[in-house]
Amino acid sequence: MEDLLTEARIGPRDGVGKTVVVAMSGGVDSAVTALVMRERGYRVVGMNLRLFSPGDPEHQSNPCCGIPAMDDARATCALLGIPFYAINMEVEFGEAVVDRFVDEYAAGRTPNPCLECNRHVKFHHLVRRARLLGADCLATGHYARIIPGDPAAGRPHRLFRAVDARKDQSYVLHTMTQDQLGYVRFPLGGLTKPEVRRLARAFGLPVADKAESQEICFVGKGSYADFVAARRPDVTRPGEVVDASGAVLGRHRGLVHHTVGQRRGIGIAAAEPLYVLGLDPEANRLVVGSRDQAVARVIHAEAVALTDGTWPEDPFPAQVVVRYRGAPATATVTLGPPASGEAAIVVDGPGPIASPGQAVVFYRGDEVLGGGTICLVERAHPEAEAVPVHPRPVVAASNSPSD
């Protein structure tokens, strides 16, 4: 195991005399994070967030933020000999993540729930609690890398993709501020998932072989469509399926069952495959067309921020990603007036299928430059410009930031 515990792989052994709070989800990633920070010399304090634990049978086995997960986190801390605290943050999580998810989904938009959890819960409330405990830093089991800088000397902290491309979670971390990047540690960023498992088994951690969470944590084993429909029955109303020009092609069984970019399950026979171009909740219409019509030409974003805290006047090149672990597309980013939080992203060549509500994240190679929330998409095909601005992005089950 010594080959995995070098400073090149897990970070410097800089923890002597320092305290770190580790966010303990009850999974193997957070367990190894606690192990690694202990090996780096820190006094480790485990902190589990109880985020969503309703009493119905479908959610009682919630894999990452309910009571069973808390018990796994406690067992890991006991084995490692570190203190354990359980924090009930169901109210904060419900307001910032669950309620927002349902409301936006019903309006034809969907925020990425794991991104919102990172933004509003883990790197806001949890960082605050860690500081109240007097901790020198907070560590989580996210797969990403932070290169420390010295902002006072003009060298910002920098955020990069993880070494393990299959587990990289930098997309859902792009909202982190310089203050957060200076306080948070991602000790798994230089390891692969199989190596994390190896460490867990070598040290006998009780969650070494625990299965990963593959669904949105608060949705559980059901579908996100059923989750939203149970809270907003209006999204299950049948309606018309139309093409980009408004011609009626058939009927849908409720907008909640469809997502932008979807190809299967539309239920319309056509000479070429049809894709969902958008959802129009006001008219209760599902808009479909060819893939060429779905591709983005210009993406407009709001709530934009750059990781280094700057706001360049000149356009800059970037690779943009519009969904979790999506393929990057080459583009030119032009920021709006200072403090506007706006950007226009012109895609060079074949673009992604993008829609309002998704995050658009800017990269330069493996480095995260920043990003924002898509508010408007100009499609590559002129006929698709008539598509209402109410589309909803695909919500991938693997959006979970960590297990």
pLDDT at 85 (0 to 100): 93
CATH 3.40.50.620 in the chain is located at 2-202
pLDDT at 63 (0 to 100): 55
Question: CATH says 2-202 is which class?
Answer: alpha beta
Q: Using alpha carbons only, what angle is made at residue 193 by residues 188 and 196, rounded to the nearest 5 degrees?
A: 60
Q: Of 64, 65, 77, 117, which is the active-site residue? A: 117
Place of tokens 């000397």: 153
Rounded Cα distance between 163 and 379, Å, is: 34
Q: Of 65, 77, 137, 217, which is the active-site residue? A: 217
CATH 2.40.30.10 in the chain is located at 296-380
Asked whether the beta carbons of 350 and 302 are under 8 A apart, the reply is no
Rounded Cα distance between 139 and 37, Å, is: 8
Task: List, for residues 113-158, the tens digit of each pLDDT value.
Answer: 888 888 888 888 899 999 999 999 999 999 999 999 999 999 999 9
Task: List, for residues 318-360, the tens digit of each pLDDT value.
Answer: 999 998 888 999 999 999 999 999 999 999 987 898 888 889 9
* Dihedral sign from CA coordinates of 315, 319, 323, 324: negative
- For residue 255, what are the CA distances in angstroms to 17, 29, 110, 356? 55, 36, 13, 16
362: left (phi over 0), alpha (psi -120 to 50) or beta: beta
pLDDT at 253 (0 to 100): 87
pLDDT at 398 (0 to 100): 37
Q: Token digits for 384?
A: 């698709």
Burial letters 235-262, b for 16+ CB under 10 A, else e: bbeebbbbbbeeeebeebebbbbbbbbb
Please name which of 347, 335, 346 lies closest in space to residue 303, comparing C-alpha atoms: 335
Q: What is the mean pLDDT of residues 71-99?
A: 91
217 is catalytic: yes
Residue 384 has pLDDT above 70, yes or no: no
Find all residues with CB under 8 Å of 233, minimum gap 6, and list them: none
pLDDT at 392 (0 to 100): 43
The mean pLDDT value of the chain amounts to: 87
CATH 2.30.30.280 in the chain is located at 237-292
117 is catalytic: yes
Question: CATH says 237-292 is which class?
Answer: mainly beta
Place of tokens 């990057």: 328
pLDDT at 391 (0 to 100): 43
- For residue 210, what are the CA distances in angstroms to 60, 99, 162? 17, 29, 22
Residue 93 corresponds to which amino acid? F
Task: List, for residues 241-277, the tens digit of each pLDDT value.
Answer: 999 889 999 999 888 888 888 888 888 888 888 999 8
Asked whether the beta carbons of 111 and 75 are under 8 A apart, the reply is no
Q: Token digits for 314?
A: 């000149």
Fold of 296-380: Elongation Factor Tu (Ef-tu); domain 3 (2.40.30)
Residue 66 pLDDT grade (very low, low, confident, very high; cuts 50, 70, 90): low
pLDDT at 155 (0 to 100): 97
